[in-house]
Amino acid sequence: MADVKLENIVKQYEDVTAVDDMNLDIKHGEFVTFVGPSGCGKSTTMETIAGLTKPTSGTVMIGERDVTDLPPKDRGISMVFQNIALFPHMDVYDNISFGLRLRKYDKSEIDRRVEKAAEVVQLNGMMERMPDEMSGGQRQRVAIARAIVRNPDVFLMDEPLANLDAKLRVHMRTELQRLHKELDTTIIYVTHDQAEAMTMSDRIAVINAGQLQQIDPPLVCYNEPANLFVAGFIGSPSMNFVEGEVAGSGFTSDDVKVSFNPSDYNLGRGKDVTLGVRPEDVYLANNSREAADPTVPLTATTDVLEPMGNEIFAYLTFDEDATSSMTDAQLPGQLLISVDPDTEIEEDQEIEVVLDRSKIHLFDTAGGKALTHEITDTGATSTAGADAEVGTDD
Amino acid sequence: MATETDTQQIGTNKEDEPELDRGPFEAWAARSIKNPKRAYKAMFYTAMIFFLVTTLFPFYWLLMVALTPDGSLQNIVLAPATFDPTLLLAGDLTMGTNPGAFVEIFERLPFHRYMFNSFVIATVTTVIVLVVSSLAGYVFGRLRFKGKSPLMLLVLVVSFFPPAAFFLPLNQLFNRNFAVLQPVMSDGSLYNTPYAMIIPFSALFLPLSIFILTTFYAQIPDGLEDAARIEGTTRLGALFRVIIPLSAPGVATAGVLTFIAVYNEYFFSSLMTDPGAENWAPIVEGILGYQGQYQELYNLMAAASIVGVLPVAILVVVAQEKIVSGLTAGALKE
């Protein structure tokens, strides 16, 4: 059993707090991914678990042991690095067996284990190659073999696929998942690539500015983000945000109005809230049957179209004067939607769209905290006049 | 690139001056203009021959002096005056020279003992310097701490002083009797012991080695050290198993420089010891030993110099291999 527990970890460099009061509880056999923008503290957190960095305060537990003051070699961990970090002066065999030789294993035992590890990562017959004679993918496999050969309790991976080309990355992604199934060890994985995080993890830990924002299974992070940061970070392209406030009849902003009964969500009148909706939860009005619970159509103008093949991303503007060529969906008065590739849609075309109410998120604008992840009731005014429910200012 | 310019040059030359009667030198000059590479090659060979002659001729001269029988030293032209290849037919393998000088040096004085003294002092000093400067190089090159630059500067300041500045205090120190040393040294003083040389030499040559190794160790990617520590080494283990092997050229350079400097050292050694091989006098002391009150045996001094150079020559050849292999095997990829 090798649970990993971080308790109140703080890491402070001279004037920067890299990790701020981090608490994590990772169960044995779990695949947990740390994601976050660069400089958010995810690598520092991992180095703290590895023992390469000593926390300013807090406790690191691996298994039942307090390892906060133990050197990396005594923690029962192994690690794969972003820059692969094979020893350039050793061949593949020596690289893989390095840790075993340091621990004075029998020659026959070392041979047996190295052979098995090489088999797992499909490296047989390459034992005499030097690292500089191998391709990036092969080197990465050697690094993984070096990490698994010692049967560690915890497996740490710091952006191991970041330096590989796109195709190889997808391939190695599946290999790692297969490996996780075979090894049944705890894997902690750092990445800034959310596709990796979404596809491989049991749970995703979203970190920003040294603080844990949310740790949940991938789809929970996607569907029920804990706050504005998680909502904007998870998902590509990211969620649309519309800032507004709570009025008597629901959410209201310059461009978008969604009616509901604020008291059902414990929202006071006049409270500043941000509405969030993912591009795929916005539908063209003539397709509104696809939405589980559509709002009343909004009129908008298409600006830039990005055909992706399997879908088209369309940037919509509510204000015709607004020029917004940059792909920033969060400009005020702009909405990014994803439509079916067969849809006939042109730039600068006036169209009507609806939002799927069951997929609308509301956040507290000031604190960023999520208030609700769906709006179920149609509000008090819905029976009185549905046409007033949603509309644009224009 | 070169061929392009060549053909252009040839083209213009054909048009401009089709028939010109030239002497051999002019023709060579013209060819060089057409093909500048020839001129560069010629310059390269000229320069190389010049350097070879200036560096190797003294050795040749030394060998000739050594081979000349005592008494005919005034008559060396390019070979000893007594040199006569025809003597080979008469069965004289030496052809009138005196290779016996290479044996005589060991008969007149225990020259091997002087060599041994210098070799031991140089080896021990080099080992001490490499170990200490490796640790210091690791600290200066790979750790971040307050006051690093001033400390590094302070270390380098030691090497700014002429060694003579340290002589008087050190000589007084080493001539003093220390009760602590009584069980080890007969009189409790370090004078006439190898320690009197190893200690100051280590201190004097440390700054240079620290400087060299700091720059080398600083270039090893952090990831490699982290990987070694995760795999099971301590910081020190990572230094010896990963960082030093990858910095082999730097370590070899620092080691060779230290060894040669100490091996050839005379100033301190002669003052810290009484002449005489049994007093740990160094090799230069031995060479000067052939210089008597009434007689100066230049041929023996030359022979001794040649023999004395051999260990250094061997070391440099071996180390050079290490340097080259270290360079080619390096190929560090971050």
pLDDT category at A288 given cuts 50, 70, 90 is low
Task: Choose between B69 and B221: higher pLDDT.
Answer: B221
Instruction: Give residue A382's pLDDT.
Output: 39
Q: Is the pTM of this model over 0.80?
A: no
Q: Among residues of chain B, what percentage have pLDDT more than 90?
A: 18
**Distance, CA of B141 to CA of B129 (rounded, Å):** 17
B230 with A78: Cβ contact below 8 A: yes
Q: What confidence tens digit (pLDDT) does each residue in A259-280 have?
A: 888 877 878 888 888 889 999 8
Chosen CATH of A4-225 out of 3.30.930.10, 3.40.50.1100, 3.40.50.620, 3.40.50.300: 3.40.50.300
Residue of A nearest to B226 (CA): A52
**Distance, CA of A307 to CA of B166 (rounded, Å):** 79
Instruction: Give residue A187's pLDDT.
Output: 92
B330, pLDDT greater than 50: no
pLDDT category at B22 given cuts 50, 70, 90 is confident
Residue of B nearest to A76 (CA): B230
Q: What confidence tens digit (pLDDT) does each residue in B73-110 have?
A: 777 777 777 777 777 777 777 677 778 888 888 888 88
pLDDT category at B332 given cuts 50, 70, 90 is very low
Per-chain mean pLDDT for chain A: 84
B137, pLDDT greater than 70: yes
Strand, coil or helix: B255: helix
Instruction: Give residue A347's pLDDT.
Output: 84
Residue A154: strand pairing partners: A77, A186
Instruction: Give residue A112's pLDDT.
Output: 93
Residue A188: strand pairing partners: A32, A156
Closest to A102 (Cβ–Cβ): which among B226, B231, B329? B231
Q: What confidence tens digit (pLDDT) does each residue in B277-300 have?
A: 777 888 888 888 888 767 778 888
Name the amino acid, one letter, at B173.
L
What is the maximum alpha-carbon separation in chain A?
Answer: 83
A377, pLDDT greater than 50: yes
Strand, coil or helix: A109: helix
A337, pLDDT greater than 60: yes
Instruction: Give residue B324's pLDDT.
Output: 60
Q: In A, which residues are within 8 Å of B330 by CB distance?
A: 88
Q: In A, which residues are within 8 Å of B231 by CB distance?
A: 73, 78, 98-99, 102, 146, 150
A202, pLDDT greater than 90: yes
Residue of A nearest to B235 (CA): A71
B229 with A87: Cβ contact below 8 A: no
Instruction: Give residue A97's pLDDT.
Output: 93
Q: What confidence tens digit (pLDDT) does each residue in A109-149 have?
A: 999 999 988 888 888 888 888 988 888 888 888 998 999 89
Tokens of A219: 């789809």
Q: Which one of A81, A103, A105 makes the best mutation probe of the B interface by having the most chain B beta carbons within 10 Å?
A: A81
**Domain range summary for chain A, segments of one domain joined by +:** 4-225, 240-388
Residue A6: strand pairing partners: A24, A60
A379, pLDDT greater than 80: no
Place of tokens 């080493």: B174
Give the C-alpha distances (Å, rounded to integers) separating B163 from A244, B127, B202, B266: 79, 21, 12, 12
Query: What kind and span of H or E run contains A154?
Result: strand A154-158
Query: Which of A374-383, B132-141, B265-274 is the most confident on average?
Result: B132-141
Q: Other CB atoms closer than 10 Å to residue A152's CB: what's the count?
A: 21
Instruction: Give residue A94's pLDDT.
Output: 92
Contact A42, A207 (CB under 8 A): yes
Tokens of A388: 């007033």
**Distance, CA of A6 to CA of A278 (rounded, Å):** 33
Tokens of B23: 């002497």
Q: b/e per residue, A96-114, with b = 16+ CB within 10 A?
A: bbbbbebeebeeeebeebb
pLDDT category at B4 given cuts 50, 70, 90 is very low
Q: Other CB atoms closer than 10 Å to residue B174's CB: what's the count?
A: 20
**Which phi and psi angles does A317 have, rounded to 5°?**
-120, 145
**Domain range summary for chain B, segments of one domain joined by +:** 2-88, 102-330
Minimal CA separation from A90 to chain B, in Å: 10
Q: Among residues of chain A, what percentage have pLDDT more than 90?
A: 29
Chosen CATH of A240-388 out of 3.40.50.2300, 1.10.260.40, 2.40.50.140, 3.40.50.1820: 2.40.50.140
Q: Span B102-330: which CATH code?
A: 1.10.3720.10
Separation of first and last alpha carbons in chain B: 33
B interface with A, Cβ–Cβ below 8 Å: 221, 223-224, 226-234, 237, 242, 245-246, 329-334
Instruction: Give residue A216's pLDDT.
Output: 93
Instruction: Give residue B185's pLDDT.
Output: 66
Average pLDDT over residues A287-309: 80
Q: What confidence tens digit (pLDDT) does each residue in B220-248 have?
A: 888 899 999 999 899 999 999 899 888 88
DSSP string over B80-101: -TT--GGGGTTT-TTTT--TTH
ipTM of the shown complex: 0.78
A217, pLDDT greater than 90: yes
